[in-house]
């Protein structure tokens, strides 16, 4: 069982990714990156022309390839509470001098 998912199809790659100049997963430029790994063969075709080509991944994606490239990033729910508590609690002063 392969631990590496198939790279995206060529139809989902931009020119840099298709040319092997960018990571096929995250799209980061690989021109100045060391440790670039092959991500496998991206499958695609245009009419009768087979566009299958080897694509590459940056070290980060090669170490942990995303299962789904277009996965929405879950947001950390760290928002503040919507309502501002305006209740002021006064200590009851009993036995005050009147």
Which residues of this protein are in contact with Zn ion, per CB under 5 A?
23, 25-26, 28, 58, 61
Q: Which is nearer to Zn ion, 26 or 41 (CB)?
A: 26
CB of 65 to Zn ion, least distance (A): 9
Q: Which is nearer to Zn ion, 55 or 58 (CB)?
A: 58
Judge contact between 58 and 36, C-beta under 8 A. Answer: yes
Q: Which is nearer to Zn ion, 14 or 45 (CB)?
A: 14
Cα 51 from Cα 10, distance rounded (Å)? 7
CB of 50 to Zn ion, least distance (A): 25
Secondary structure class of 16 (helix, strand, coil): helix
Cα 15 from Cα 31, distance rounded (Å)? 14
Q: Output the six-digit token pair for 95.
A: 């036995």
Cα 76 from Cα 62, distance rounded (Å)? 25
Q: Which is nearer to Zn ion, 13 or 58 (CB)?
A: 58
Q: Output the six-digit token pair for 50.
A: 């087979």
CB of 28 to Zn ion, least distance (A): 5
CB of 76 to Zn ion, least distance (A): 22
């Amino acid at each position: 069982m392969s631990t590496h998912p198939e790279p995206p199809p060529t139809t989902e790659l931009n020119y840099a990714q298709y040319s092997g100049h960018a990571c096929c997963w995250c799209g980061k430029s690989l021109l100045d990156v060391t440790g670039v790994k092959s991500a496998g063969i991206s499958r695609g075709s245009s009419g009768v022309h087979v566009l299958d080509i080897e694509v590459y991944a940056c070290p980060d994606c090669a170490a942990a390839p995303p299962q789904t490239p277009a996965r929405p990033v879950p947001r950390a729910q760290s928002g503040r509470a919507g309502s501002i508590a305006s209740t002021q609690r006064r200590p009851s002063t009993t036995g005050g001098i009147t």
